[in-house]
């Protein structure tokens, strides 16, 4: 009984800390209008032609609530594959997808893609991850270290739309 209470206390403490975790955010300024950036980041079929980091299959229309396949490719060629669900979409502004493992209490990662218009010819593209749950608390540093590769995606997007 004492061991069970101790384990429960540890899980609740880790989970409480996970709910207050810092998010991971990167951004880039792109010399192109926001519609051009939006068209590129929502054209999942063409990701393989310019994006060495991410593929998203089976949700070309970003249908909300629909599950789709995501693959993250590290520079060493290691691939992480998982299913995500399209959660939100504001045309020419943002979209997001969420992955949950076991349950929200264990691990939830929400990936947000946001476009901010600076002026008619300049756009700020932002990628942000919100992590919650026990697994996120335990492996936050490692997860954030893996997400650094998305800076490559941002640079590749910039090169694509500035052509």
Q: Residue 17: pLDDT above 70?
A: no
Domain edges within the chain: 2-162
Q: Are strands 67-73 and 79-90 parallel, antiparallel or unpaired?
A: antiparallel
* Percent of the chain residues past pLDDT 70, beyond the cut: 85
Q: Which of 22, 30, 67 is nearest to 156 (CA)?
A: 30
Question: What CATH class has 2-162?
Answer: alpha beta
pLDDT tens-digit map of 87-136: 999 999 999 999 988 888 788 889 999 999 999 999 999 999 999 888 88
Q: State the chain's mean pLDDT as an integer.
A: 85
> Which residues touch 23 (CB under 8 Å, ≥6 apart)?
128, 129, 130, 131
Lowest-confidence region among 51-65, 79-93, 112-126: 51-65
């Amino acid at each position: 009984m004492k061991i069970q209470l101790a384990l429960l206390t540890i899980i609740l403490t880790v989970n409480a800390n996970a709910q207050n975790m810092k998010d991971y955010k990167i951004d880039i300024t792109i010399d192109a209008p926001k519609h051009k950036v939006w068209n590129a980041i929502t054209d999942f079929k063409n990701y393989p032609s310019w994006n060495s980091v991410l593929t998203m299959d089976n949700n070309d229309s970003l249908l909300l609530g629909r599950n789709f396949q995501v693959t993250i490719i590290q520079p060493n060629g290691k691939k992480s594959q998982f299913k995500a669900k399209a959660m939100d979409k504001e045309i020419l502004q943002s979209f997001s997808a969420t992955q949950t493992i076991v349950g929200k209490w264990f691990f939830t990662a929400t990936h947000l893609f946001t476009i901010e218009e600076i002026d008619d010819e300049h756009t700020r593209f932002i990628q942000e991850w919100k992590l919650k749950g026990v697994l996120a608390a335990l492996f936050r540093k490692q997860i954030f270290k893996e997400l650094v590769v998305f800076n490559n995606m941002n640079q590749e997007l910039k090169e694509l739309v500035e052509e």
